[in-house]
Structure 1
Amino acid sequence: MSAPDLLPLLPEAAPETVCAIHRGRAITRRELLAQVAALATRLPAGRPLLNLCNDRYLFAIGLLAAISRGATSLLPNATAPENIAALHADWPELLCLSDDADAPFGLPWLQVRTEALPVDAPAPLPVIPATQRVACVFTSGSTGRPQPHAKHFGPLFRNARTGAQRLWQTAGGACAVLGTVPFQHMYGLESTVLLPLFGGGILCGERPFFPADVATALDALPAPRLLVTTPFHLRTLLDAGLPMPKLGALLSATAPLPAELAIRAEQALAAPMLEIYGSTETGQVATRAPAQETDWLPFAGIHLEQEGDFTFASGAHVEGRIALGDLIERLPDARFRLVGRHADMINIAGKRSSLAYLNHILCAIPGVRDGAFCLPGNDADALAPQRLAAFVVAPGMKAEAIRTALRQRVDAVFLPRPVVLLDALPRNATGKLTATALAGLISAHIEDAG
């Protein structure tokens, strides 16, 4: 195999370079590689692994050790028992990595503990074939069965390096990276694990959620600091009003980031805000500064092609030619603008809009903390007019006040009836309101009432 087909497991750096912070202690590159090598010797070569470590640093050790042994790490979109059982049926040789004291889901397992790993044993830097499959990431399929997406070392390595160039430039240097998002999903994997490891930053093992914990974790990191989050988590952080350590930059994804929230974040935290565009299938492909611009700038080498209403991405790290899930308006300067998701587009009384746009309008109403439009089915009467509904978190507000505010901003055909007021929406760990959760809300609050 020629040299261009081989890549180092980590980019070149001095052995004493700090590459992670774990439980308040700086981890050098020498220690990291020693622990990766020690764990790799305990892994059967090529056996598929389910990495369920809850600690981000231990997850990273497990991922790198698996790559060193030629093993594929399976990253499911959910860890409910039925999901894991289905995964085990498809991959009967599955071995689970976990930092818990008990065997997860009754699977064959190996416990990952730093106490059992060396701290200073010299270890060579492995070289990895660029074409080696290192992960299989699962997304929710249209049939309800999770769909696997293979990820190979070369594209993941190069994507992280490309993203680091743009992010470090914005932040003023390579960052210590703290994330509020799960790292088994693509956004968290790319931005809180691969970005610091492959991009020359510092990985933080903690995953705080509550604002006070975020502030404490950030304060323990060296500057410049990058906070990787979501619009939902970011709004919660800002609403808390707690003082935060100085940040180099903020990064958001998983849902559109309203411009007013981005502006508020930049003013409150005195740091530039970037937003990532990508998908599980493509990886991260573009960024924008949502406080200043609406358009997206693709990474170098990314090509977008239009065929009818669909846009296809290829080039750089994108593995193949992949249809994007969004309606996109390509612009003359190679940038692009998001119009809405294909699955979100609705047509009521001959007028088109997108649920994402309507959600944006809803959440921009003063007093509304969270909200989501939906289009309940009319299976009982196919000729009945379609009517939107909305679930809203707005303490102290009445449904009619919300409709009145919407009436000034959207066409009357898109006004929701009913408006269901809730204490909170059942968002998942990445801040998304899944189709399953939304269907549950419709069943509980709309269909039963009807």
Structure 2
Amino acid sequence: MGLANRSLTVAGLAPIVAPSLARSPTLSPILAHHEPESLVAFGLEARSGAERTAERLRSDIARVVAVLPECAPDDPREILCVASDRYHFAVALLAAWQRGHRVALPPNAQPELLRAVADDRSISLVIHDTDEMSGLDLRPLLAEEIRATPAEPLALAPLPALRKLVTVWTSGSTGEHQRHSKTAGQLFAEALTLAEHFGLAVGSDGERARVVATVPSHHIYGLLFSVLVPLVSGGAFSRETPLHAVVVRATLMATHANVLVSVPAHLRALRILDPGQLPALSRVFSSGAPLPPETAKMLRARFDLAVTEVLGSTETGGIAWRVSEPALTTASGGGEVEEGGQAVSERDAAAHWTPLPHVQISAVEGRLLVDSPFLPPDGPRPWPTADRIEFATQEHTRPGSARHQLRHQFRHLGRVDGVVKIGAKRVAIAEIERRLLEIAGVEDAAVAVIEVGGARGHEPVALVVGPGLSPEHLRAELRRWLDPVVIPRRMRLVDALPREPNGKLTRRAILAEIEQPKPRVLELDCRSAPSAEASDPTRAAFEVYVPRDLYSLRGHFRGAPIVPGVVQLELARAQALARWPELGALRWVRRLKFLRPLGPGEHLRLILDRRAPDRVEFSFVCADERVSVGSLSFSATPAPQE
């Protein structure tokens, strides 16, 4: 189903996609099911004055509209919205739309990335509620004391269905964040569909959805489920975005919320709570990654909660859903159910996904194709996704097209490209590699992904060529750009990547290097250096390399490992005795100086100069720079054999 009618506005969507939510064909679906005094936003009880009504929302929108310039028809620039308070976010979004602007939503909230996006020439203004950004600060505009000068509530104009409202980013196979525009028709058709299908509209008893979300509103999943769905269905949302299990519980209890919007990693974290500590919830949603069966089992056993999983992507919108809970037995008590004339296990039946209303799916050679009103109006139909599926129920096979089969329920078998979801965060392998290569001192890098258990599902591992660097430093640099959950926990510094002769690097080679047991390297690598000193009986030179796995580097120091001075001193002593055994035992060390830190992966020279029968001076030199120097005095009698 497409929404390509140029005269269609969002006011006309409900009769098409969600008839039970239809109102006047001239009325915007935003707040169409709210009375003026109906709640739209709430906060923790400890936060004074956190609640906001529909009338207050309209007034606050009017305040922001009054200071926003109208967008010129030929201006392609966007407004960047950075707001941690979900109510502030909603006000900024709706005000910008009323003034004709398209809003850019950042891919994550990392400071460096936000500054980079804000500085892009495609951004005309930043609307925010943080001390870290410049632009239009919402806080003074929306402060409680502003009510002393009330603004007339704004009547929201219906938006053309084909008008582009937001730009969201997602990671593509190239590693760059890919921009995706969403039209009013896409966003509101999906929000209305979700609200009706999952029973989130105002009930006959007057009960309204009160949504708490652990996902930020600038992600498409959070935008839909925690902002737009409540606004089009008479519901309300929490202003905060709690993450820790104890805070999630406190927010749910204090606000009397009945809907939780989350991701598998956050749901798994609820296991630290005692049984029965969560309130009864009408819906728990999860998206971003498959919910591990053990997490679903834990939520049912501890809190009597079933989880509604939603499958989708930034490009396609929502695709399918399923309820992840222990499967019910059949009436006969057996462990199998009938499906398409075949017996399948209850576990398999629970793993099946069902398309959302108005979504049609098909497949070519196992690759999922999607057609729905949530797709870009100018995109291909059906839309080829990066997902592999296997159908569970065959409806029919079109004659003459044996490979192209239409189905109903299906199993999701993973992705076919280089984009993976780690703890519900979507990231491209190429982006992690690119960020590593941008770090000063990194010469080469490669990333692979392995499957792991639990809520993470997958985990990136990395090989890095970076003389003198440490894994801790690399991770700290990555945290400036990437969500912490996607930063490789297993990272090995190597001298060179295990490339093939043609320069190619295989995943197998990366994993083999990662899985190779770490040896306990106790000494610096030292070998004789060919030089003019070889013919001089009083001088000796050696080539020295600092192994990255040198045992003495551990804990010295965390984040910036350096070779302890005693290790350098011991190497100089040992090589002096190997060159001139008659020196005997070391008596004392004089004029010892460590001129600069010596890090892992460095190549240098050790030069020994015998100045007297019982004295040897040493120096470690990197290029033309001295690293350490000293004078060793010996007993000039044979050293004891060890």
- Return the match for 1:227 from 260, 279, 298: 260
Q: Does 1:241 align with 2:274?
A: yes
Question: What is the distance in 2 between the residues matched to 1:249 and 1:180?
Answer: 14
Question: What is the distance in 1 between the residues matched to 2:202 and 2:481?
Answer: 26
Aligned counterpart, 2:414:
340
Instruction: Tell me the TM-score normalized by structure 1.
Output: 0.75
Aligned counterpart, 1:327:
388
SS at match of 1:219: helix
Instruction: Tell me the TM-score normalized by structure 2.
Output: 0.54
1:3-402 aligned at under 5 Å gives the runs 4-7=8-11, 8=28, 10-13=30-33, 14-22=35-43, 24=45, 25-46=50-71, 48-80=78-110, 82-88=112-118, 90-100=120-130, 102=131, 104=133, 107-113=134-140, 114-115=142-143, 118=147, 121-168=152-199, 174-222=208-256, 225-241=258-274, 243-291=277-325, 292=327, 293-319=350-376, 320-321=379-380, 322-331=383-392, 332=394, 334-343=408-417, 358-359=451-452, 362-363=453-454, 372=458
Question: What is the distance in 2 between the residues matched to 1:174 and 1:238?
Answer: 28
Q: How far is 1:189 from its partner?
A: 1.4
Q: How far is 1:23 from its partner?
A: 5.4
Q: How far is 1:87 from its partner?
A: 2.8
Deviation readout 1:282-336 (Å, 9 max, x if unpaired)? 1222110021411111111112232334222122222233322221123326122
Deviation readout 1:399-449 (Å, 9 max, x if unpaired)? xxxxxxxxxxxxxxxxxxxxxxxxxxx999999843xx13x6333696566
Question: What is the distance in 1 between the residues matched to 2:461 and 2:388?
Answer: 19
Residues 111 and 174 (structure 1 numbering): CA distance in 2 closer, same or farther, change over 3 Å?
closer
Question: What is the distance in 1 between the residues matched to 2:481 and 2:304?
Answer: 26
Q: How far is 1:18 from its partner?
A: 1.7
Asked if the contact 1:31–1:120 (Cα under 8 Å) also holds between the matched residues in 2, the reply is no
Asked if the contact 1:180–1:207 (Cα under 8 Å) also holds between the matched residues in 2, the reply is yes
SS at match of 1:311: strand
Q: Quick one: which amino acid aligns to residue 443 of structure 1? A: R
RMSD: 3.5
Question: What is the distance in 2 between the residues matched to 1:150 and 1:120?
Answer: 32
Asked if the contact 1:9–1:125 (Cα under 8 Å) also holds between the matched residues in 2, the reply is no
Asked if the contact 2:172–2:419 (Cα under 8 Å) also holds between the matched residues in 1, the reply is no
Residues 65 and 171 (structure 1 numbering): CA distance in 2 closer, same or farther, change over 3 Å?
closer
SS at match of 1:164: helix
The higher radius of gyration belongs to 2
Asked if the contact 1:9–1:128 (Cα under 8 Å) also holds between the matched residues in 2, the reply is no
Asked if the contact 2:88–2:138 (Cα under 8 Å) also holds between the matched residues in 1, the reply is no
Residues 238 and 132 (structure 1 numbering): CA distance in 2 closer, same or farther, change over 3 Å?
same
Deviation readout 1:371-403 (Å, 9 max, x if unpaired)? 745576799xxxxxxxxxxxxxxxxxxxxxxxx
Q: How far is 1:78 from its partner?
A: 3.1
Asked if the contact 2:31–2:54 (Cα under 8 Å) also holds between the matched residues in 1, the reply is no
Q: How far is 1:246 from its partner?
A: 2.0
5+ residue gaps, structure 1: 347-354, 364-368, 380-425
SS at match of 1:316: coil
How many equivalent pairs are there? 382
Asked if the contact 1:341–1:356 (Cα under 8 Å) also holds between the matched residues in 2, the reply is no
Aligned counterpart, 1:407:
none
SS at match of 2:192: helix
Between Structure 1 and Structure 2, which shows a larger proportion of helix residues?
Answer: 1
Deviation readout 1:95-144 (Å, 9 max, x if unpaired)? 111112x361xx43333442175467332232211112111001123333
SS at match of 1:325: strand
Residues 357 and 176 (structure 1 numbering): CA distance in 2 closer, same or farther, change over 3 Å?
farther
Residues 120 and 217 (structure 1 numbering): CA distance in 2 closer, same or farther, change over 3 Å?
farther
